[in-house]
């Protein structure tokens, strides 16, 4: 919800005096900052975050299945490369121990070559088959994968090359697939993970780093299926010398890529694989492509047999990968490749606001007009009051001005302001609006609201929505209705079974950060295990 925090009180007076001659007294806010009405009521020391525990990057026992449940980052590489593997999100060992039937391992023993081309990075996601493997295809809507693809091509060639308007691009992947590993990721399993199987290290990061930093460290996806084996990834680029449609450019590039490599069975039964020949340049030239270059990188395979090449002209490139292919007969050289069914991290997080924060960070990263990172710092939790004029009312034969207000809450992570309470009060023309508002907020605090100990600020004039019709999501959660529940994950939930809303925290220190320790300590526990997926939960 968009808020205007800096309007002067005099703005509202214009509307008031248009219907009534008496001017409403004004408290000037000349700096444009919120006006402090009531200071924070507790002197308890508090911190905004704690240093999370060290997170583990490598698997403990080296088993390939242990890469399931880790995050995957597409910001600096394209989907399918093991470079995108990040940190544990799910405690896979615990999930496997409790539910071994949720896991599947199938041998494949196959080799395949796939290629595609694209005339610009806007078309990358449409042409690459691997970007279609995310659940719901939501990544395509956000343009997430083109960012990583562009970064990968820029690393192989150069940023200047990638940004040239007459460039065409292509990619060849030769995949030696030994086996596939899969974790069931149904909605039922996702809810169990939220309740019981999130890695403690991930929860520490979720609650103690900003959403921006979390995305930088983890990426946005979760690995639920991948193949093991080896992969040769060849990147191509050239200059299109004639104006033509995207489809025509890509068709010519496809033909040039197909002419650039050999993958054949030799007389001895082994595979011969090489990239680069003069015929590819001939085909490229016939398709109006000049300066056709290739860069090759392998994943998996024995040391000394792999390859990483600087960009070379296709006619002079001579990359022999036969030895690399043969080295993959040793299963100890296999790595995770070809990731499918990538899931958004938000699918495994209960907290509504956390899911929105992560999605907002991604949208901002893909917005060229967004130059400043969002959700990149912690803020002191506070309450903000918005006012609006409610007209003239009669009380005991006297004409009074009705002022409506809404109290909003903003937590550590900033961003959206969530409505907590709405009401109104009346005042005479001789009254001071700020004095009346301060008295009204003091009265509100006597009602023992959940966040009543936080600093209260006057923020501006806005539609206060006192009935909660515009912003119903977090409106009027009653302290007396809250009951606490600590999940097997170690997260404590404060739940209102009447509104099916609530709050969550991970770490006892947050009780002091939000000045709610007394309220939470006195709160009764739930009498039955709640179905958390039925609640809208705000992470503190």
Backbone angles phi, psi at 318, to 5 degrees: -145, 80
DSSP one-letter string for 301-315:
S-TTT--B---EETT
CATH label of the domain that carries residue 499: 3.30.160.840
- Look at residue 466 and tell me if it is in a domain: no
**Boundary (domain end) residue, out of 365, 393, 411:** 365
164 and 272 fall within a common domain: yes
**Boundary (domain end) residue, out of 404, 433, 461:** 461
DSSP one-letter string for 135-165:
GGGHHHHHTHHHHHHHHHHHHHS-HHHHT-T
- Give the single-character DSSP code of 378: -
342 and 445 fall within a common domain: no
314 and 196 fall within a common domain: yes
For residue 62, what pLDDT band results from cuts at 50, 70 and 90?
Answer: low
260 and 390 fall within a common domain: no
Residues 190 and 347: beta-carbon distance below 8 Å: yes
Residue 204 has pLDDT above 80, yes or no: yes
- Look at residue 163 and tell me if it is in a domain: yes
169 closest CA partner among 131, 129, 127 = 127
98 and 226 fall within a common domain: yes
Residue 2 has pLDDT above 70, yes or no: no
268 and 173 fall within a common domain: yes
**Boundary (domain end) residue, out of 339, 365, 391:** 365
- Look at residue 467 and tell me if it is in a domain: no
Give the N- to C-terminal CA distance of the chain in Å, as an integer. Answer: 19
User: Quick one: pLDDT at residue 310?
Assistant: 85
- Look at residue 1 and tell me if it is in a domain: no
439 and 483 fall within a common domain: no
- Cβ atoms within 10 A of the Cβ of 328, count? 21
User: Quick one: pLDDT at residue 23?
Assistant: 35
- Look at residue 472 and tell me if it is in a domain: no
Maximum mean pLDDT: which of 8-17, 141-150, 444-453: 444-453
DSSP alpha helix (H) spans, 110-218: 124-127, 138-142, 144-156, 159-162, 187-192, 200-208, 211-218
Domain that holds residue 491: 479-539
- Look at residue 372 and tell me if it is in a domain: no
Query: Is residue 224 exposed (0-12), middle (13-18) or buried (19+ Cβ within 10 Å)?
Result: buried
382 and 287 fall within a common domain: no
Q: What is the dihedral of CA 461, 466, 467, 472, to 10 degrees?
A: 60
CA–CA distance, 306 with 487 (Å, rounded to integer): 47
- Look at residue 189 and tell me if it is in a domain: yes
For residue 4, what pLDDT band results from cuts at 50, 70 and 90?
Answer: very low
150 and 215 fall within a common domain: yes
For residue 474, what pLDDT band results from cuts at 50, 70 and 90?
Answer: low
Q: How far is CA 205 from CA 89, 354, 400, in A?
A: 10, 12, 52
For residue 19, what pLDDT band results from cuts at 50, 70 and 90?
Answer: very low
pTM given for the model: 0.83
Q: Which helix (H) or strand (E) holds 434?
A: helix 433-446
Q: Give the chain's domain count.
A: 3
317 and 420 fall within a common domain: no
CA–CA distance, 216 with 203 (Å, rounded to integer): 16
- Look at residue 149 and tell me if it is in a domain: yes
Q: State the angle between helix axes of 211-218 and 200-208 in degrees (0 to 180), rounded to the nearest 10.
A: 140
102 and 176 fall within a common domain: yes
249 closest CA partner among 238, 258, 240 = 240
User: Quick one: pLDDT at residue 27?
Assistant: 36
242 and 125 fall within a common domain: yes
């Amino acid at each position: 919800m968009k808020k205007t925090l800096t309007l002067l009180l005099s703005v509202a007076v214009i509307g008031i005096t248009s219907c009534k001659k008496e001017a409403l007294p004004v408290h000037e806010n000349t700096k444009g900052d919120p006006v402090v009405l009531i200071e924070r009521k507790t002197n308890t020391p508090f911190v905004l975050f704690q240093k999370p525990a060290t997170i583990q990057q490598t698997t403990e026992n080296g088993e390939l299945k242990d890469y399931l449940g880790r995050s995957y980052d597409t910001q600096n590489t394209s989907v399918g490369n093991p470079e995108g593997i990040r940190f544990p999100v799910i405690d896979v060992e615990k999930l496997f121990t409790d539910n071994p039937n949720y896991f599947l391992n199938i041998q494949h023993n196959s080799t395949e070559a796939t290629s595609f081309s694209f005339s610009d990075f806007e078309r990358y996601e449409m042409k690459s088959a691997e970007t279609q493997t995310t659940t719901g295809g939501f990544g395509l809507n956000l343009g997430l994968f083109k960012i990583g693809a562009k970064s990968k091509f820029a690393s192989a060639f150069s940023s200047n090359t990638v940004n040239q308007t007459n460039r065409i691009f292509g990619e060849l992947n030769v995949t030696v697939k030994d086996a596939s590993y899969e974790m069931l990721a149904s909605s039922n399993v996702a809810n169990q993970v939220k309740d019981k199987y999130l890695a403690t290290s991930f929860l520490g990061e979720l609650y103690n780093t900003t959403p921006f930093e979390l995305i930088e460290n983890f990426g946005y996806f979760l690995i639920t299926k991948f193949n093991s084996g080896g992969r040769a990834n060849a990147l191509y680029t050239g200059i299109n010398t004639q104006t033509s449609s995207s489809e025509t450019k890509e068709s010519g590039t496809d033909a040039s890529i197909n002419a650039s490599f050999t993958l054949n069975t030799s007389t001895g039964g082994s595979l011969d694989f090489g990239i680069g020949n003069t015929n590819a340049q001939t085909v490229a030239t016939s398709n109006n492509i000049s300066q056709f270059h290739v860069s090759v990188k392998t994943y998996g395979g024995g040391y000394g047999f792999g390859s990483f090449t600087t960009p070379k002209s296709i006619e002079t490139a001579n990359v022999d990968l036969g030895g690399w292919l043969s080295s993959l007969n040793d299963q100890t050289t296999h790595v995770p490749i070809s990731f499918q069914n990538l899931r958004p991290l938000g699918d495994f997080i209960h907290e509504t606001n956390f899911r929105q924060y992560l999605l907002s960070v991604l949208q901002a990263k893909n917005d060229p007009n967004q130059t400043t990172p969002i959700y990149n710092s912690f803020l002191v939790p506070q309450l903000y009051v918005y006012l609006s004029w409610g007209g003239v009312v009669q009380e005991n034969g006297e004409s009074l001005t009705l002022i409506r207000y809404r109290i909003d809450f903003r937590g550590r992570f900033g961003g959206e302001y969530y409505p907590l309470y709405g009401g109104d009060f009346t005042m005479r023309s001789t009254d001071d609006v700020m004095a009346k508002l301060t008295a009204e907020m003091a009265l509100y605090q006597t009602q023992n609201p959940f966040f009543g100990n936080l600093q209260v600020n006057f923020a501006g004039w806005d539609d206060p929505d006192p009935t909660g019709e515009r912003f119903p999501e977090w409106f009027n959660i009653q302290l007396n209705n809250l009951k606490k529940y600590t999940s097997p994950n170690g997260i404590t939930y404060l739940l209102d079974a009447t509104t099916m809303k609530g709050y969550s925290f991970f770490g006892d220190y947050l009780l002091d950060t939000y000045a709610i320790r007394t309220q939470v300590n006195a709160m009764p526990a739930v009498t039955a295990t709640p179905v958390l997926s039925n609640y809208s939960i705000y992470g503190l």
